[in-house]
Amino acid sequence: MSFFERHLDPAESLGEILFGLIMVLTFTLGASVAGGWERGLILGAIGCNVAWGIIDGALFVMSRVFERSRKGRLIRAIRQSPDAAAALAAIRQEMEPGLEAVTEPGDREQLYRSVHALIAHGTPARVQLRPDDWMGAFAVFVLVVAAALPAAAPFLVVRDPHLALRISNWLLVALLFVVGRRWARHTDANPWVAGTASMGLGVLLVAVAIALGG
């Protein structure tokens, strides 16, 4: 867990697990709705999560580079402002939406002036890929793929494929609930409410995907 905590924030980690569970549940619940099971179902579900793990990892790297590029552009814009008032306006526009609800106007202005003083004497770092980007992408890949593995477990211990499929479905739905409860640990949400909401939302999204042929 320390590896994931170093390279992903809780929202990223839990979001990737939730995404992986929804992906594989689309396969297993879809098979239940269709009333059939094929030998390649679980392999197909895991293969789909492997593919999406690679895609999500690549998007993660792109997002990190984009965010650093955006910040570098903001720093250059502030340093090239014609005067301090224009620089402070740029900082205010960037930071105020996230601070307005939790700070007083005077405190924010003091913070903006401090940020301006730091940026005025600093040099924006060159935007490039970092080792942490690749490690974060690998963490994303592992979480998405790992989310598919519990779906395969019942098929390894239960001989009846239809019973194994039902157990697999219930196991994945239960894991959606667990993810919601884990999410609540990082917020002020009630664990039971968050778990139920996560489970309900996951099943609803799966139903939409199945209805649309996904």
* Average pLDDT of span 61-81: 85
pLDDT at 144: 92
* pLDDT tens profile 13-42: 888 898 888 888 887 776 665 555 555 677
**What is the rounded radius of gyration, in angstroms, for the C-alpha atoms of the chain?**
23
Instruction: Tell me how far the alpha carbon of residue 214 is from its chain's centroid.
Output: 21
Kindly list the domain boundaries of the chain, sorted by start residue.
Answer: 2-211
Res. 85: pLDDT tops 60: yes
Query: What whole-number percentage of the chain has pLDDT above 70?
Result: 90
Lookup: tokens for 109: 């202005």
- Any idea what DSSP says for residue 29? H
- Residue 77 confidence (pLDDT): 80
pLDDT digits (tens, 9 = 90+) for 100-147: 777 788 888 888 888 888 887 766 667 788 888 899 999 999 999 998
Mean pLDDT confidence for 84-90? 85
Q: How confident is the model at residue 62 (pLDDT cuts 50, 70, 90)?
A: very high
pLDDT of residue 56: 92
Task: Give per-residue burial for 142-172: e unless 16+ CB within 10 Å, then b.
Answer: bbbbebbeebbebbeeeeebeebbebbbebb
175-to-124, 186, 206 alpha-carbon distances in Å: 43, 17, 14
- pLDDT of residue 188 exceeding 70: yes
Do 171 and 154 touch, CB atoms closer than 8 A? yes
Q: Calculate helix-pair angle for 149-157, 41-79, nearest 10 degrees.
A: 170
**Residue 48 and residue 147: Cα distance in Å, rounded?**
11
**Predicted structure pTM score:** 0.78
